[in-house]
């Protein structure tokens, strides 16, 4: 895949998981069934997201202790915190599951503790998502402009030229 195609794929995956996360954060709006199945699909997409950024992950990890103040280092800490919050979310989600687990023929006794862990992990993940997006705001703005705003603007320009030349006839 060429560099720009890869960036565009990354951008669309990132927008997809961002919107999915916001929907998953509103189980009262979506209902528990959509919440659980969407969260499962979300977990799979996170693995794809990590694989697409694998070179960055293995590139930064060895340098972690090399320099004290470094932007990548802060990113690494935020991303690690985000990842651990997501793992806790998925694990605790399974522990309190009302739909996915029974669909797999499994059931666990209700636990107030797992429910609290799920709530706390959701809050932590939301904060981490804000920081994660904040740290990548330049990349989001640059590529959002290049791969979303510019193609839409070009479409409008094309249809304006087409209607102008149709009106001129
Ligand atoms: C990205 C992953 C996930 C996020 C962001 C998320 C977020 C949330 C949030 C914000 C709540 C409401 C908590 C409250 O205020 O009561 C909730 C509830 C719930 N979640 Fe998740 N969740 C995720 C994954 C999962 C998974 C994988 C499952 C199960 C397979 C699950 C099962 C549930 C259940 C059953 C409830 C309702 C608890 C209750 O009110 O009794 N969640 N989740």
Neighbours of 139 (CB within 10 A): 14
Identify the H or E element spanning 89: helix 71-95
pLDDT, residue 1, reads 59
Residues 41 and 79 grouped into a single domain:
yes
pTM of the shown model: 0.83
Residues 46 and 101 grouped into a single domain:
yes
Residues 90 and 158 grouped into a single domain:
no
Give the residue, by CA position, lying nearest to ligand 1 atom 30: 94
pLDDT, residue 67, reads 60
Number of separate domains in the chain: 2
Residue indicated by tokens 């989600």: 93
Residues 81 and 126 grouped into a single domain:
yes
pLDDT tens per residue across all 169 residues of the chain: 566 788 888 899 999 999 999 999 999 999 999 999 999 999 999 998 889 888 887 877 766 666 655 667 788 899 999 999 999 999 999 999 999 999 999 988 888 999 999 999 999 999 999 999 999 999 999 999 999 999 999 998 888 888 888 775 5
Residue indicated by tokens 């997501």: 86
Residues 169 and 114 grouped into a single domain:
no
Residues 41 and 88 grouped into a single domain:
yes
pLDDT, residue 58, reads 80
Domain that holds residue 168: 142-169
Residues 147 and 127 grouped into a single domain:
no
CA distances from 16 to 76, 91, 104, 157, 168 (A): 22, 22, 26, 27, 42
Residues with CB under 6 A from ligand 1: 21, 24-25, 27, 32, 35-36, 39-40, 42, 89-90, 93-94, 96-98, 100, 115, 118-119, 122, 125
Identify the H or E element spanning 137: helix 137-144
Residues 24 and 96 grouped into a single domain:
yes
Residues 31 and 13 grouped into a single domain:
yes
Backbone φ, ψ for residue 25 (5° rounding): -70, -5
């Amino acid at each position: 895949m060429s560099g720009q195609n890869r960036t565009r794929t990354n951008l669309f995956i990132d927008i997809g998981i961002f919107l999915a996360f916001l929907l998953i954060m509103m189980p009262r709006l979506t209902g528990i069934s959509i919440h659980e199945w969407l969260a499962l699909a979300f977990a799979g997409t996170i693995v794809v997201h990590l694989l697409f950024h694998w070179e960055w992950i293995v590139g930064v990890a060895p340098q972690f202790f090399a320099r004290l103040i470094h932007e990548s280092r802060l990113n690494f800490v935020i991303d690690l915190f985000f990842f651990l919050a997501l793992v806790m979310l998925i694990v605790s989600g399974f522990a309190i599951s009302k739909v996915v687990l029974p669909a797999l023929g499994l059931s666990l006794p209700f636990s107030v503790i797992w429910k609290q862990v799920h709530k706390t992990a959701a809050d932590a993940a939301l904060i981490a998502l804000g920081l994660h997006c904040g740290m990548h705001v330049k990349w989001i703005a640059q590529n959002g402009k290049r791969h979303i705003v510019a193609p839409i603007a070009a479409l409008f320009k094309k249809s304006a030229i087409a209607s102008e030349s149709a009106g001129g006839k």
